Amino acid sequence: MKSKYLTLVALACAGIYGIAQNNIAEEVAWVVGDEPIYKSQIEEQYSQAQYEGTNIEGNPYCVIPERLAIEKLYLHQAVIDTVEVEESQVLPEVNARINLFIENLGSKEKVEEYFRKSIPEMREQLTELMKNQYTIQRVQQELTKDIKATPADVRKYFDSLS
């Protein structure tokens, strides 16, 4: 009797474990400070790179999360420095990208099918992406604004490394 009870408990636990494994909402690949980098973000960027024909040197599952980590560090610095980007700067770029997707794929429906998202979802995601990109550029410019180097200085520096 005890053996049958243990067997039933073991089977129930195994069943629950199996169900739980299929119900993973999101998998965290990396963590930068308090900010997670989700596996879905990595997969999405990899798909985007493939769509755009962008060559990724090295293992994309290492290179992409590394890029995302660096972006998160810049965005954190933007919060510290209160760097903000205007929506009016971002929206024309978002619209241009969506129009390019439609032009390349032939219709809005084909774009939605290809990216498995509605145009409004894509617009929201692209707006956040472009806002982050512009913010990162502004932080980089702010961090390097006092650095003065001529092309000759750069060549001399790299020559000294060899």
Select from 70, 95, 74 the least CA-distant residue to 83. 74
Q: Which residue has the tokens 């707006």?
A: 127
Q: List the single range of 55-64, 110-119, 144-153 with lowest mean pLDDT.
A: 144-153
| Closest-CA residue to 69 (of 107, 102, 41, 101) | 41
Average pLDDT over residues 130-151: 88
- Under the banding of pLDDT at 50, 70 and 90, the label for residue 7 is very low
| pLDDT tens by residue, 27-37 | 998 888 788 99
Q: Distance between CA 18 and CA 36 in Å, rounded?
A: 25
Q: CB under 8 Å to 24, separation ≥6 — which residues?
A: none
Integer Cα distance of 89 and 35 in angstroms:
26
What pTM did the predictor assign?
0.65
- pLDDT tens digits, residue range 77-118? 898 888 889 889 999 999 999 999 999 999 999 999 988 899
Neighbours of 44 (CB within 10 A): 16
